[in-house]
Structure 1
Amino acid sequence: MSRRPVGVRTVPALTYPHVGATRTGELPAGWRHVRHRVRLPDSCFRAAGTAVLDWRLHRAAGIRLDAEAERAAPGVRVVSRLGIGPLRLAAPCAVVWAVDDGRRAGFGYGTLPGHPARGEEAFVVSRDDAGHVWFEVVAFSRPDRFVMRAAGPVGRAFQHAYAWWLGRTLRRLCARA
């Protein structure tokens, strides 16, 4: 009988092959790409990183989110829900990587079966060599269910608007910190 070490989670079966590509930023060709970067106040690195890692950013942006853990870590399953009532769309994901090292704080998660798309999305707060603080959303995806295929250009526009909205929300959270 094999036993998994205590505290180690197994990442569930993801729906795409390029696991971890958002960590390096080398996104696979042939997929839709999103890159959105916004500067934050230089004093809010820690507060912004914590807001990303403990799901507060997503919740403050109006995303209904259920996570297996209070903080993003590899293997943690997350279900985001967008929409209203019966039109609410569930998007199950699993965290594939996380970082919190003083220069970068954030995570990337990948799609699980049942998600309307296939791919990976990362949310990272970083500090550059000049001490400036940045928030970046990096993603690659493809439609996986009818709703995303039917959305076409509107779906792509939504992905970009979502990244912009998260940046705006994080700036607002920093202003309160």
Structure 2
Amino acid sequence: MRRGTFRDETVDYAAVGATQAADLMQYPPERSRPAQERWRIGSGEDRFRTASDALLAWRAQRDGGLTVSDVRPAAGPMYSGVSFDGEGHPIAPSKLEADQRFDADGMPWVASGTTIRLHGRVKGLKADGELRVIFAIEEPRRVGFALGTVDDCVVSGEESFMVDWYENDEVWFTVRAFDAPRAFLYRMLPALITRRRKALFQRYLRAISPLYTTPA
């Protein structure tokens, strides 16, 4: 079944949560370029916990050479986010624990509805923008979240980050994304989107697993 189109007034694209769709690579949102990479980053509970904590503390972005600033947790009642099952139907995502957590520098960890500012460059290309956490998941064997563009980004879209601890004890890190060009340069040279995305994926991997294995 093809997924439906979902709208959310907090972001600048329509297919909210589509990084969770099983058919993302075959049927990406209109005018966007999909991307996905998976890496085995080790095995065992300790590796899973370490990678999960790093992910929720924004280490993929911060240790990946980007600056995370102006972290604003959702105001009012907890924003539960958006998620989908394998058939593309919306489901209620699991919630992170109620108490907000912080890293050693006092920065809030990832939580649904949080808005952040990113600053940096990737292969000479701008990576600035305002983004919002669309959903956040923390389960016994799966931890992750998705970021959606809100404003001032050269592309419009979403990226998700997931760490899974499988029954065979392997731990895998998966990043998925779809990007549609907004800036004039990207509309004229869409191949730059692929170049930028590939470089970002490698940065995320090195941040979460410095001794990473070959992509699956």
State the match for 2:49 in structure 1. Answer: 46
CA distance in 2: counterparts of 1:120 and 1:134, whole angstroms: 20
**Counterpart pick for 1:105 among 143, 147, 150:** 143
CA RMSD of aligned residues (A): 2.2
Contact 2:186 2:192 in 1 (8 A): no
Task: State the SS of the aligned residue for 1:106.
Answer: strand
The Cα offsets for residues 80-125 of structure 1, whole Å up to 9 and x where unpaired, read as 11139xx865211100000010111110011112211111100111
List runs of 5+ in structure 2 lacking aligned partners: 1-7, 74-107
CA distance in 1: counterparts of 2:64 and 2:55, whole angstroms: 11
Question: For residues 25 and 55 of structure 1, do their structure 2 counterparts lie closer, same or farther at Cα, with a shift above 3 Å needed?
Answer: farther
Task: State the SS of the aligned residue for 1:41.
Answer: strand
Question: For residues 106 and 19 of structure 1, do their structure 2 counterparts lie closer, same or farther at Cα, with a shift above 3 Å needed?
Answer: same
Mapping of residues 18-167 of structure 1, within 5 Å: 18-27=15-24, 28-30=28-30, 31-43=32-44, 44-66=47-69, 67-69=71-73, 70-83=108-121, 89-167=127-205
List runs of 5+ in structure 1 lacking aligned partners: 1-10
> How many corresponding residue pairs?
162
Specify the code of the residue in structure 2 equivalent to 1:39.
Answer: R
**Counterpart pick for 1:15 among 12, 17, 22:** 12
Specify the code of the residue in structure 2 equivalent to 1:14.
Answer: V
Question: For residues 122 and 89 of structure 1, do their structure 2 counterparts lie closer, same or farther at Cα, with a shift above 3 Å needed?
Answer: closer
Give % identity.
Answer: 29
CA distance in 2: counterparts of 1:47 and 1:12, whole angstroms: 34
CA distance in 2: counterparts of 1:173 and 1:49, whole angstroms: 16
Question: As a proportion of its length, which structure holds more helix?
Answer: 1
CA distance in 2: counterparts of 1:96 and 1:173, whole angstroms: 29
Contact 2:65 2:203 in 1 (8 A): no
Specify the code of the residue in structure 2 equivalent to 1:16.
Answer: Y
Task: State the SS of the aligned residue for 2:191.
Answer: helix
The Cα offsets for residues 5-34 of structure 1, whole Å up to 9 and x where unpaired, read as xxxxxx762111111111344423442011
Contact 1:96 1:108 in 2 (8 A): yes
TM-score (norm 2): 0.68
CA distance in 2: counterparts of 1:96 and 1:133, whole angstroms: 24
Q: CA deviation at 1:151?
A: 4.4
Contact 1:48 1:173 in 2 (8 A): no
CA distance in 1: counterparts of 2:14 and 2:21, whole angstroms: 15
CA distance in 2: counterparts of 1:173 and 1:53, whole angstroms: 20
Contact 1:118 1:141 in 2 (8 A): yes
Specify the code of the residue in structure 2 equivalent to 1:22.
Answer: T
CA distance in 2: counterparts of 1:62 and 1:109, whole angstroms: 17
